Each structure stands twice: as structure tokens, then as C-alpha cells.
Amino acid sequence: MKYFILFGPPGAGKGTQAAAMVEKYGLCHISTGELLRREIAAQTPLGKQAKALIDDGQLVPDQIVEDMIAQCFDSVRDVNGFLLDGFPRTLAQAEALDEMLARRGESVTGVVSIMIPDAMIFERIRHRAAIEGRADDASDETISHRIATYHAKTEPLIGYYRQAGKYAEIDGVGTIEEVHDKIFALLDTL
């Protein structure tokens, strides 16, 4: 079983590239945001617990997110592996994922990080805000905060996975197809 992690700043094209990776390699895409929404909608025990915390204005603790991911690993069949998007976001989560996979006799196969310059992040998020009418993405202050948060949270993970020999960067500048090709060339070696 393959276990890939997808990194990239807002606007890097992770959603577009994840869809292509899922289709080409038969992976199950696990987006933590989508997973939480699905568990809440299905009113599972974990979903009810997460909803109560969110409704109370609290963050969902790592353990609940980790349990949801483990449940997905246990229940999804007929795939060649998993593509994690939005998890891990901290060193503690990366260590928890390593422990979770080790209990299954598995490990992270590789981390694909789609890199684009900060100036391009601004352009892409502004464009997306205009096209999709997303007021939450429209202000420079919001975009700057999202970029700073990405760099602050991701950089320690880059070092963690680089030291483990699992990390690879893909230049996210180019057409969708050009970036697909770069990612596919990498995944074909893993």
C-alpha cells in the first residue's frame, strides 16, 4: 500500500493535481477538511464529537482527526494507496501518522510538495476569489496571513520528511499538464 502526502501553499493547485494523482494511480484522496465534513454529515460518533467542538468554537483535536484517518485506512478497499491532503500539518501529527502506519507495518511512501513563489500565490488566490466570488480570499492581508501560516507550519515538516528521505519538491509553475507530468515522473519512481 502506498501512502503519499501532498504539500503546497494555497493556490498551488493541490486539488487539481490530487484529482489527477487519484485517477492515474488508483489512490484514495483523504482531505482532512472534507473528511471532517463527511463525518459530521453522517453523524458518526467521531463526527458528533467534532461538531460539538466546532460549534463551541474550538479546534478539533489531533486525536479526533487521527482517528478519522485511521478509520478511513481501515474501511477503504480496492485502492493502491492513499493521498493525504491537509494532514499532517504539525510535527506531532507527522509523528502520530508514522506511529499509525508502523502499527500497520507500513510507512509514508513519499511527500510531494508543489512549490510556487509567494507572488504567484497572491495572483492565483486573487484570481480564484474573483472567479468564485470568494470574499474570504480577496484581501491582501488575508492572503498574506495564509501564506505566513503555510510557511510557519510546513517548513518544520519539510525538514522532518527531507531527513527521512521521503520529501520531493515539484515546481508548480507551468500548465496543469506540465505539473501533472512532473508529479507523475516522480511518483513513477516511488
**Domains along the sequence of the chain with CATH:** 2-184 (3.40.50.300)
42 or 145, which is more confident?
Answer: 42
Query: In terms of DSSP bridges, do strands 81-85 and 110-115 run parallel, antiparallel, or are they unpaired?
Result: unpaired
Give me the mean pLDDT over the 52-57 stretch.
79
| Interval 115-135: pLDDT, tens | 999 889 888 888 777 777 766
pTM score of the predicted model:
0.85
Give me the mean pLDDT over the 2-26 stretch.
93
Neighbours of 127 (CB within 10 A): 12
Where residue 58 falls (left for φ over 0; alpha for ψ -120 to 50; beta otherwise) is beta
Taking CA atoms, 62 is separated from 8, 10, 33, 83, 96, in Å, by 20, 21, 13, 18, 9
pLDDT at residue 54 is higher than 80: no
Give me the mean pLDDT over the 139-164 stretch.
86
* Nearest of 5, 11, 34 to residue 147 by alpha carbon: 11
The average confidence (pLDDT) of the chain is: 89
Residues 6 or more apart from 115 whose CB is under 8 A from it? 8, 9, 12, 169, 170, 171, 172
